[in-house]
Structure formats: C-alpha cells, structure tokens
Structure 1
Amino acid sequence: MHATTPPPLTLDEIDDLLYFTRVNEGQDLQQSISELSQKYSCQPRNVLEACIDTETGNTVLHYCSANGFDALLQGLLAHLNSGEPNKAADGKTVGSLLFNVQNQQGNTPLHWAAYNGHLAVVKLLLAAGADMWIKNAAGHLAMFEAERADKNEVVQYLLEAGGRKVEQTGTEGQPSAEDEVDVQDGEANESNGFAVAGSSGDVDMGEAEPSG
C-alpha cells in the first residue's frame, strides 16, 4: 500500500530533484522521481510535494516556472493531478497544494512565471488551480510582478483572468475588495499604457532566473 503523506526526503535527494528541474533534464528527473517513489513506497506526487528547499522554500514548480519549461511542467502536472483532490485557499479544487506554495519571499510558481513572461506556463498553472490572488512579501500579485517586468502578454492574460474571477458570484475564494480595485486599476492603467506596479517595496526577483 502506498503512503499518502510526503516522504522524508534527504537533503541530497531534494537537491537532485531541484537540480534536474533547473537544468531541464526531464528524463533524469522522472527517473529520480520513480526511484524515490519506490524507495519510500509512495506515489510520485508525494515525492514532489516533499521536495521543498529548506533554505529558500523553492519547489520543482518554482524552478520549472521561472525558466519557462512548459513541457517539463506538463509532466509534473500529470503526477500532481493524480490521487485525491485538495481544496486550495481560493476554493478551487486542485490536484496538489504544491501549486500555491510560497517561498521565503512569498513568491509562488505563478509569481515567477509571470515575472519572467512565460505565458504558456502561466496558463498551465492557472488551469491546474494556481491562485492568482496570492500576494508575495511585498504585497504584490503575480500580475503586478509581470507588469513590473514589462511582460505585457502575461499582464493582459492575468487581467482578463482576474476580471472573469471578479465577475463571479456565489462561490468560495472570491477576491477581496482590495483585489477587485487592483484589477480595475490595472485594466485602466493597461489601457492608458502606464505601469501598474511601482519599485517601492518590491521583492528582489533576481533569483527567479536560477543559473545552472
């Protein structure tokens, strides 16, 4: 019988999984996931959910999203969407709560994908159940980090997705009144060609493009 809780991965095992993700070595990553799944008698999903860097709080989804590895992300999503569903903070049913894990700077995988302009990854994350209303340590939504980095396609997509969410009624996980104002202000600023996010209080997103 397979375990349903994240296994106690060693630091080396976590480092290996994160490394293979950063360098887009999909075959090595899948092999490691399979081997660890057998070692700990658990599902691949449990292995991925246990793989969180103890120093930075980053996950395989953070690095995959930061670098725009959409093909690799699809393989990871196949694992993470298996098994019993979970309910995210915004009320959505998601395959895994890993989609919304925040690192030490409060950034989710969606923040990094948005900041780096990876539209395909943004779409995959939202479709999987990523919560676009989570704010990082600087109080910024993913759409504002995208605007700060001049990733206009991502900004437009998130504004449209946010507008659709604001229009919904009678469901759990509605955006706050402040978030609704953010979206409305963002739509107005987008149409006028002005930047939405200022530089004051911004989280340093430099490590959103990990090397190696």
Structure 2
Amino acid sequence: MHATAPPSLPFDEVDDLLYFARANEAQDLQQSITELAQKYQCEPRHVLEACVDPETGNTVWHYCSANGFAELLRRLLALLQNGAEDGKTVGSLLLNARNRQGNTALHWAAYNGHLEVVKLLLAAGADMWVKNAAGHLAMFEAERADKSGVVQFLLEAGGREVERTGTEGQASAEDEVDVPDGEASGAEGAVVEGGSGDVNMDDA
C-alpha cells in the first residue's frame, strides 16, 4: 500500500532530482522519481512534493520553468495526475511553492520570457497573483525584464480571471510594494541560462 504523505528525502536524492531538472535530463529524472516512489512506497507526486532544496527552497518546477523546458514540464505535470483524486489541486500546491526569495516557478518563467511554460503553469493551477518577497507579481518581473509577450498574456489572463470571479483590483504589471532594507529585490539575477541548460542560481 502506498503512503499518502511525502517521504523525507536525503540531500543527495534531492540534489540528483534537481540536477536532472536543471540539465533537462527528462529520462533520468522520470526514472529517478519512479525508483524513489517505489523505494518509499509512495506516489511519484509525493516524491516531487518532497524534492525541495533545503538551502534555497528551489524545486524541480523552478529549474524547469527558469530554462523554459516545456516538454519536461509536461512530463512532470502528468505525474501529478497519476493516482490523484484532484490533480489540479495537487498541482496548485506544488507549483505555487515559493523559494527563499518568495519566487514561484511562474516568477522565473515570466522573468525569462518562457511563454509556453507560463501557459502550462497557469493551466496546471499556478497562481499568477502570488507576490515574491519583494512584493512583485510574475507579470511585474516579466515587464521589467522586457518580456512583452509574457506580460500581455498575463494581463489578458488576469482580466479573464477578474471576469470569472468578479474580483477586481487584484494587481497590475506595475504593482509593487515597499520592501524593508535587506529583503529580496525580486527575480532579477535569479536565473541565467547556459548552453547546457544549467541555471546559475545566484542565491535566488
């Protein structure tokens, strides 16, 4: 019988999973998730839930989104659906996880202009109204990085959300709150794409 809670993964197992996500090693990542699910007698989604860098708070979703690995993201999202009564609810919880600087996977995807990934994240339950520690929405990060396509999409998506829920005044691309000195300044410098798909974290 499978466990219903995420296992406690040792650092080396977390590190391996994060590396595979960062390097776009889809087959190795999927195989490792499957093996760990068998080892800990849990569902693959529980392994994904447990895979959080203890120092930075980064997840496979952060790395995948930062580098625009849309196909890898699709594979990971499919794992959330397997055996889940409500895959979208599970996805929402994981995709909206914030790292040490308060950035979600959507913040990083938006900042780097990965429109396809942004669309996948929103469809899977990512919350576009989450602010990072600097008080910035994902669309604000996209705007200051001059990713106009992402900004336009998020503004339109936000408008549809307002129409659907009847909630107005949520936020705009210009929204920002004052942050005490020493706090995070947003996603700037958070991710740098390399030729091998590696991400330079720079403490983001």
TM (normalized to structure 1)? 0.82
Matches of 1:211 and 1:133 in 2, distance apart? 26
Matches of 2:85 and 2:94 in 1, distance apart? 14
- 1:31 deviates by 1.1
- 1:204 deviates by 4.8
Change (3 A) 1:154 1:11: same
Q: Which position in structure 2 is the counterpart of 1:95?
A: 90
- Mapped pair 1:163 → 2:159: yes
- 1:95 deviates by 3.1
Matches of 2:165 and 2:37 in 1, distance apart? 41
Matches of 1:14 and 1:42 in 2, distance apart? 16
Partner-residue secondary structure (3-state), 2:190: helix
- 1:162 deviates by 0.4
> Contact 2:61/2:105 (CA < 8 Å) preserved in 1?
yes
Matches of 2:60 and 2:131 in 1, distance apart? 20
- 1:84 deviates by 2.5
Q: Which position in structure 2 is the counterpart of 1:154?
A: 150
> Contact 2:110/2:118 (CA < 8 Å) preserved in 1?
yes
Query: Percent identity at matched positions?
Result: 66
Runs of 5+ unmatched residues, structure 1: 87-92, 187-195
Q: Which position in structure 2 is the counterpart of 1:90?
A: none
Aligned residue runs from structure 1 range 1-212, under 5 A = 1-82=1-82, 83-85=84-86, 93-96=88-91, 97-169=93-165, 174=167, 177=169, 179=170, 182-183=171-172, 186=173, 196=174, 202-209=185-192, 210-211=199-200
Q: How many pairs were matched up?
A: 187
> Contact 2:108/2:187 (CA < 8 Å) preserved in 1?
no
- 1:166 deviates by 1.3
| Aligned residue type for 2:103 | N
Matches of 1:135 and 1:117 in 2, distance apart? 18
Runs of 5+ unmatched residues, structure 2: 180-184, 193-198
